[in-house]
Structure 1
Amino acid sequence: MRTVPAQRTTLESGWSFRQADRVDDEWAPVARVPTIVHMDLLDNNKIPDPFIGTNELDVEWIGEKSWTYQTTFTVPKVPDGASAYLLFDGLDTFASVRLNNVSILKSDNMFLSHRVPITNVVYASGPNHLVIEFDSALLRGRELEKEHPEHRFIAHNGETGRLGVRKAQYHWGWDWGPVLMTAGPFRPVRLEVSFAYIDFARVDYELSDSLDGVRGTVLADVKGATDEVLLSLRYNGDEVYTQKATAAVNGATTLDFKLDNVKLWYPSGYGEQPLYDVIVSALKDGHTVDTWKTKTGFRRSELIQKKDAHGESFYFRVNGIDVFCGGSCWIPADNFLPRITPDKYRAWLELMIEGNQIMTRVWGGGIYEDDAFYDTCDELGILVWQDFMFACGSYPAWSDLRDSVREEAKQNIRRLRHHPSIVLWAGNNEDYQIQEEYKLDYDYENKDAESWLRGTFPARYYYEHLLPAIMKEEAPTVAYWPSSPFSGGKNTYDLAVGDVHQWNVWHGTQEKYQRFNQIGGRFNSEFGLASFPVLETVRGIVTQPQDLYPQSRVLDFHNKADGHERRIATYIAENFRIVPGLESWIYLTQLAHSEAVLYAYRGWRQQWANRDARHCGGALVWQLNDCWPASSWAIVDYHLRRKPAFYTIKRGLQPIVIGVQRDHHDWSVCHARPAKLSKYSVWIASGLLHERKVDVELRFVSIESGEDIKPPVHRSNVTVSANETTPILTGEINNVTEEPHILATRVLENGAVISRDVDWPQPFKYLSLVDRGVDVKVHDDHYEVSVKRPTKGIVFEEVDGVVLSDNCLDVVPGDPQTMKVKGRKVDYEVKFRYLGIEEN
């Protein structure tokens, strides 16, 4: 019989489920697979929405139960020589699978996919009964901890039992997310009938020294009866290369390729993102029996670590271009993972591009994201720092667990290695900080990996032995870093080498956020300040009007950060006059958040300096997104509603951005005694690859009167250096003889303002901001904002369907600002707040 192409059918519909220990209950319908049990219970009106009020408490019992899913399916006739398989892309987490009452699979790792041969189990005619039983990962984790008393289980966030379970760690709860222990077939289940299948294909390549040509190989591992393998490379639908090779008898088939005048892939803002189709076909007797397709981009990515005056650099170079990696960290966008559709991934990631962000860090307590996430990053030009899935703990490393981690790493590297967006894999999130805090065994000079397993920090075996070895084997051209943060055997808070999580603002010593520029490292891969979500999101959380006040139990319940009441209150009390009322409190938390990231991005981007002095190579705010509606460090809340900090970062990461800042004077230490003299500086940071000629203006504007207290400074025809920081001027303020004033600076190109910045005397609570004279003219597609006196933080209310080009504005007399508006409806009431509005 002639061979035919592999047939794959997604088993999406016809499923039902029930609680495993309630066998007398009727089976309830499942809308579709992929799914998890909470979604199905919600669909069947069995539980309240866990995201509303304190309903999370009412659904905790779900995580302590086992759940069973079932479906029936028929199989196309399996021809002689063909085989049937079930493909499970992801089972959450302890799953036992039976087909026609025959056990075919046991899985205990959420991050694994499975191919299960079923030729000898399926019925050729009539329905086949598929059953998947999911044990409680919560209870299994507790059992594993008891079974392994040899290991000291230490975890920050969630139960310590999570450490022995290969499941998304945030499901145990985190300091921004609820405890929702999910179970179910969270990724697709498919049926395959095939004569042969391509198990994996691998694309390896090198660019020429001149970056205009590429040579490479495609390695195709084909299982089953084939005699040839065909490679096709296409660009924009046109075939640019093809080759056919005899199929290897054992192992993978190698096909070489060569492209001249190759189109290179660049991060957003540095070039285009051309993607080539790679198509591998397995042939038998001239007929295609299976096809593997992907898209990839060709680029040269390097992690630059070299000794310099500041220690050792840490930044990325792509296609020979040094790239300042401004962006944000990414957590799973929902507690219920099947809700995150490709369209939702795209909406989130397009927000990054809108906000001038070019790198995201996939955090190690979540998941290896769906293909759609990385596909979109490839298309948009977003660089990806990818953590392996370990976070905030001392992980055990018994033999079976090591084997599971090995397979997990291999599978996910193979799945993701063709993405040009991924430029680094890191072993974990903050586990070396656990090692340091609890004084677990660690001798950097000891390179005997087997001995690490006998110590109190056995997870080092993963991060410095197992994972780098798999990376070298499976993706040798992508950078690997043992942890985030990590400093090559030094303290993880070392600011001179490696990356740092700078949490001495908010956590730790709770420094003033005005010091961010002084306490940054070589690459700042986490930092932030927490704030309330957008007002509409707050209203959606609360079901009772009496709970709509800042300190209500419901709103506290939706902030999982330890000590958040004290820390939010501290940063507001230190900086702003406290104003009663929910809307005012939300505004102040968000303004403090915005100011914190302003000082971070402004100062660290200034430290990009030049090619020989890249003091700071990147800044990734914690965090872009939320997994449920909550107060957190997110700059965009769960409903994709932008907070003020989003816009502040957007301005701070423009291609050309001007900065002005006076030296920090700690008013708390000095008991509110002002400095007699304050030095200040003005600079321009550029991410452009060519010089620009611009004009620069610096004004000194009275906060009380709105008048200039002395003549402005003008610099005409200033040369802005390419891809580095250009110092413009420095000066000094006499706080004894000069009244309180702002420093307002602008960059103009051909008469048009392309960047602004304002430096205010700190703290704001000492300033009288009465009678600002704010005037907003509303037009169909834009707002015009002008003031009589310097005004801080004009924030327009975020409304679904209305997209603002900017927000959280500092506006200066004589320099009105225009915001573009999309989607404004006639009956939409324009609402805004600014600092001091209550004083009027």
Structure 2
Amino acid sequence: MMAPLLMAALLSLNGSWRLDCFPQPDEAAVRTLPLPSGLDVRTVPAEVPGNCEMDLVRAGVLPPPEIGLNARAFRSCEGYQWLYTKTFEAPNLPSGGRALLVFDGIDTLADIFMNGEKIGEADNMFIPHRFDITPKMRRGTNTLQVLLRSVLLDAKTKTLGELGWTMCGGAEGEPYRKAGHMGGWDIFPRLFVSGLWRDVRLELQGPVRIDQTSWIVKSIDRSARRAELVGSCRIDMPFAELDKARVTVGLRRDGKPAARQTFPARHFQQAFRLSVADAEFWWPRGFGEPALYEAFVEVAGSDGACLARRTERIGLRTVELVRDDVYGKERPGQFLFKVNGEPVFIRGANWVPTDAIPSRQKDRLIETLEMFRDLNCNMIRVWGGGVYEPEAFFDWCDANGVLVWQDFMTGCSMFPFDPDYQRRTRVEALETVLAFRNHPSLALWSGNNENDVAPRWRLGGAKTILWDPGRDVTSRVTLPAVVREFDATRPYLPSSPYLSPDVVAGLAKPSENHLWGARAYYKTDYYTNSPCWFASEMGYHGCPNRESLERMMTKDNVYPWTKVTGTDPWKDYHWNEEWQFKASDPWLDGFGFRRNSLMTNQLKIMFGAVPTDLDDFILASQIVQAEAMKTFVELFRSLKFTRKNGLIWWNMRDGWPQISDAVVDWYGGKKRAYRTIRNVQRDQLVMVRDDRRVVAVNDTLEPVAGKATVTDRASGKTLLETAYTVPANGTREIGTVDWSGQGMLDIVYEQAGEKQANWFLYGEPPFDFKEVAEWMK
């Protein structure tokens, strides 16, 4: 007899599969096997995890989609069906054990077959799908098949709500749990692909299993260094073991016991409490160590032998969101995160999928996360048009003290209210909450991205609310019910931005907002005097480096314009098709023209003219983006806790080779804004504001002392030289400076023997491009 499995043994089914593809019949999708005769079937080798279309690229059927207009060729596959086939040898199972077939990601509509017999279906690309195949698995060789059908063709049978809409005009994705960006977005191409996009495996489980653990930090006492926890777990074991088996729960820190409790296994659903003395708390970046504990649950038999074990890493911390709408001076509003009772000013950036081809996203995961650490971000917002990132994402954030704002996966539309859609949403939410609720980095669940405001885009403009988002079933009923029941201590925000009943009624304004506006001059009143306390999106366009342009465009289309007929930045710079396509315009109907013209308009405002030499255009665009992002970050930080509590700027890295407002392109090329943001997101910073105040900010829990000098670049005149102190987690005005005309101020400050530098570009545009470029060296 095999020894009992303490934890599930994993048998990977990744690697080489066979892929059959064929146009889906117009009358109905094929849902049974074997395939009927008469289909136009093509067979190619497939890689899993993978996407079907990329298997066709490897077979030479489709071109590489990253270059030029090639991604348009993928449109022909949107009406295909795909049949994956894999054989494997049945493993030995322990007595009383079972074999689970697990797909971590199926995109999207699928029928699953084992040895020719249907064993299940899938209709959600975001979550794992599990099938108990213990009674279906044969000795020896088994054949596993997954038959995918077209979401696009399935959608033609649906009845769409009046306000369902996506960025690129269609709405075929709304009834389905499929990543929103795949239908086309203003930051993504249209790549409506399919596939087994995450791992496939067998999980061999013993007769005793532990899952659905919950570790809730009930309270902490920072001065006494104590923490109180309540927890629970589910134990799946034979009824005969109840009362005989014993459960041990506990925590270890660096291998040393921190808390432990043993009790009889009287329940399949077991609750417990733990007290931790000499506790080391989990802190976000800048506040201290993100201390992690090993949390464990063990089940032992009556003879003391371990029957099952589960371990994971947790942190001892509390998190809360203090939120109120903005009503005016009498009730100014609030949007403030607190960790362990300490207010946290958020220095964050938005996260979008690292690749428009979902199966490749894992390849850029860690290197992209390292960029957040390099820029000293203390929060990542996972945008709702993408996917839920894997466990490795949260593990990294836990270990590096980076908080996570997690959107549920819908955005920029109104999604179905019908019971079947809500059922699928609840299943997805429950799976996701149970998977990630024990991660200390997870700070907030947000119901969606911009769904509250999206109906206004169709019904009458940004200032007219003709539809009450409070009626939305998904964000007001289904999702909060899951969070309240299964993650009771973590904040939930219905939407980002959230339009409360008072905001809808015109009695208040949102305390958290997405600050996009006309995207004209970055110091307009829209940006500098927004009533919100917190911006979770705010960005500015910047052209990629020439090296990246030369990789994403064909040789004859690297230069952006077919002709320049005047000086109007919106009309007279005629973008070639590849530049339009790379501005997320899948249909080449003018959307990309307008997106790219944001850059020409911004350059016309800043420099009075648009450079037509490509290298000058790239440099000018990147300078303007860098100055805009610097202005946004410094504006919010200088008003820390008095009028602003955080900025999650848009965005760190592109998910595709494109023209955008990211500060790092898909290839990893860093724009000037990347280095600029790194400089102004230090824990301590000295900055100059447009109102001539010099402000020092300290985002640590210790007071700091330093000295600062502000000098005019052109004249060499010292405008301020002063010593200063800044309280813990605070700000201080340390002086004022004066100027006239246009120029650059050099700011040098020294703290704890470490010298840092900053700058301030003063004056009103237009500036002389060559002069500014020289200053920026």
Q: State the TM bucket, normalised to the shorter chain.
A: 0.7 to 0.9
CA contact (8 A) 1:495 1:520 kept: no
Cα distance between partner residues in 1 of 2:221 and 2:458:
48
Higher relative contact order (CA 8 A, sep 6+): 2
The 1:544–1:744 alpha-carbon spacing in structure 2 relative to 1, beyond 3 Å, is closer
1:384 aligns with 2:416: no
TM superposition shift of 1:10 = 1.7
Task: Give unpaired runs (5+ residues) of structure 2.
Answer: 24-37, 461-465, 562-574, 586-590
Q: What is the aligned counterpart of 2:610 among 578, 581, 598?
A: 578
Listed as ranges, the matches of 1:169-318 within 5 Å are 169-194=180-205, 195-210=207-222, 212-225=225-238, 226=241, 227-249=245-267, 251-284=268-301, 286-305=304-323, 311-318=332-339
CA contact (8 A) 2:220 2:318 kept: no
Instruction: Output the amino acid matched with 1:254.
Output: A
Counterpart of 1:500 in structure 2 is 513
The 1:468–1:63 alpha-carbon spacing in structure 2 relative to 1, beyond 3 Å, is same
Instruction: Output the amino acid matched with 1:265.
Output: W
Q: What is the aligned counterpart of 1:165 among 164, 169, 176?
A: 176
CA contact (8 A) 1:391 1:428 kept: yes
Counterpart of 1:827 in structure 2 is none
Listed as ranges, the matches of 1:538-557 within 5 Å are 538-545=549-556, 547-549=558-560, 551-557=575-581
TM, length-normalised to structure 2: 0.87
Listed as ranges, the matches of 1:493-532 within 5 Å are 497-506=510-519, 510=520, 512-515=522-525, 516-519=527-530, 521-532=532-543
CA contact (8 A) 1:387 1:428 kept: yes
The 1:151–1:458 alpha-carbon spacing in structure 2 relative to 1, beyond 3 Å, is farther
TM superposition shift of 1:386 = 0.4
The 1:495–1:582 alpha-carbon spacing in structure 2 relative to 1, beyond 3 Å, is farther
CA contact (8 A) 2:560 2:576 kept: yes
TM superposition shift of 1:298 = 1.2
Q: Deviations over 1:452-489 (max 9, x none)?
A: 9xx98686122122211211111111111111011423
Listed as ranges, the matches of 1:52-67 within 5 Å are 52-67=67-82
CA contact (8 A) 1:495 1:521 kept: no
Instruction: Output the amino acid matched with 1:121.
Output: K
Q: What is the aligned counterpart of 2:663 among 635, 658, 680?
A: 635
Instruction: Output the amino acid matched with 1:313.
Output: Q
CA contact (8 A) 1:213 1:260 kept: yes
Counterpart of 1:604 in structure 2 is 636
Q: Helix, strand or coil: the match of 1:154?
A: coil
1:564 aligns with 2:595: yes
Cα distance between partner residues in 2 of 1:73 and 1:248:
39
Cα distance between partner residues in 2 of 1:751 and 1:98:
67
Q: Deviations over 1:288-338 (max 9, x none)?
A: 444333211111112123687671111111123221111111100011222
The 1:115–1:245 alpha-carbon spacing in structure 2 relative to 1, beyond 3 Å, is farther
TM superposition shift of 1:439 = 5.1
1:402 aligns with 2:422: yes
Cα distance between partner residues in 2 of 1:128 and 1:335:
33
The 1:548–1:155 alpha-carbon spacing in structure 2 relative to 1, beyond 3 Å, is closer
Cα distance between partner residues in 2 of 1:69 and 1:362:
31
Counterpart of 1:822 in structure 2 is none
Q: Which is further off, 352-361 or 543-552?
A: 543-552
Counterpart of 1:476 in structure 2 is 488
Instruction: Output the amino acid matched with 2:600.
Output: A
Q: Helix, strand or coil: the match of 1:395?
A: coil
Cα distance between partner residues in 2 of 1:336 and 1:292:
33
Q: Deviations over 1:510-548 (max 9, x none)?
A: 454454322362100001111222221111012324543
Q: Deviations over 1:774-810 (max 9, x none)?
A: xxxxxxxxxxxxxxxxxx356xxxxxxxxxxxxxxx5
Counterpart of 1:726 in structure 2 is 732
Instruction: Output the amino acid matched with 1:241.
Output: A
Q: What is the aligned counterpart of 1:745 among 744, 747, 762?
A: 747
Cα distance between partner residues in 2 of 1:163 and 1:137:
11
1:133 aligns with 2:151: no
Q: What is the aligned counterpart of 1:707 among 705, 709, 715?
A: 715
Q: What is the aligned counterpart of 1:413 among 419, 433, 446?
A: 433
Counterpart of 1:650 in structure 2 is 678
Counterpart of 1:688 in structure 2 is 700
TM superposition shift of 1:438 = 4.3
Instruction: Output the amino acid matched with 1:690.
Output: E
Cα distance between partner residues in 2 of 1:456 and 1:700:
52
Instruction: Output the amino acid matched with 2:378.
Output: I
Cα distance between partner residues in 1 of 2:42 and 2:434:
41
Instruction: Output the amino acid matched with 1:218.
Output: G
The 1:375–1:152 alpha-carbon spacing in structure 2 relative to 1, beyond 3 Å, is same
TM superposition shift of 1:724 = 2.2
Cα distance between partner residues in 2 of 1:625 and 1:158:
25
1:588 aligns with 2:588: no
Cα distance between partner residues in 1 of 2:199 and 2:298:
23
- How many aligned residue pairs are there? 722
Q: What is the aligned counterpart of 1:82 among 69, 76, 97?
A: 97
Q: Deviations over 1:673-720 (max 9, x none)?
A: xxxxxxx2222222132332222323344xxxx324xx5233432222
Cα distance between partner residues in 2 of 1:387 and 1:283:
39
Cα distance between partner residues in 1 of 2:44 and 2:699:
56
CA contact (8 A) 1:198 1:222 kept: yes
Counterpart of 1:815 in structure 2 is none
Cα distance between partner residues in 2 of 1:471 and 1:298:
20
Q: Helix, strand or coil: the match of 2:492?
A: strand
Counterpart of 2:500 in structure 1 is 488
Cα distance between partner residues in 2 of 1:162 and 1:459:
21
TM superposition shift of 1:78 = 3.9
Cα distance between partner residues in 1 of 2:181 and 2:210:
34
1:363 aligns with 2:383: yes
The 1:78–1:546 alpha-carbon spacing in structure 2 relative to 1, beyond 3 Å, is closer
Task: Give unpaired runs (5+ residues) of structure 1.
Answer: 441-451, 664-679, 771-791, 795-809, 812-833, 835-840
CA contact (8 A) 1:241 1:259 kept: yes
- Quick one: percent identity of the two aligned structures? 27
Cα distance between partner residues in 1 of 2:755 and 2:470:
56
Q: Helix, strand or coil: the match of 1:716?
A: strand
Q: Deviations over 1:61-80 (max 9, x none)?
A: 12221111111112223455
Q: Helix, strand or coil: the match of 1:134?
A: strand
CA contact (8 A) 2:247 2:300 kept: yes
The 1:742–1:644 alpha-carbon spacing in structure 2 relative to 1, beyond 3 Å, is closer
Counterpart of 2:106 in structure 1 is 91
Cα distance between partner residues in 2 of 1:152 and 1:552:
33
Cα distance between partner residues in 1 of 2:550 and 2:89:
48
Give the RMSD, CA atoms, in angstroms.
2.7
Counterpart of 1:47 in structure 2 is 62
Cα distance between partner residues in 1 of 2:281 and 2:640:
25
Q: What is the aligned counterpart of 1:28 among 44, 50, 64?
A: 44
Q: Helix, strand or coil: the match of 1:629?
A: coil
TM superposition shift of 1:245 = 3.2
Q: Helix, strand or coil: the match of 1:161?
A: coil
Q: Deviations over 1:589-628 (max 9, x none)?
A: 211211111211111111105xxx3x11111111111111
The 1:740–1:110 alpha-carbon spacing in structure 2 relative to 1, beyond 3 Å, is closer
Instruction: Output the amino acid matched with 1:383.
Output: L
The 1:330–1:127 alpha-carbon spacing in structure 2 relative to 1, beyond 3 Å, is same
1:325 aligns with 2:331: no
CA contact (8 A) 1:505 1:529 kept: no
Cα distance between partner residues in 2 of 1:730 and 1:581:
40
Q: Deviations over 1:624-667 (max 9, x none)?
A: 1111111111111112221111122112211221222335xxxx
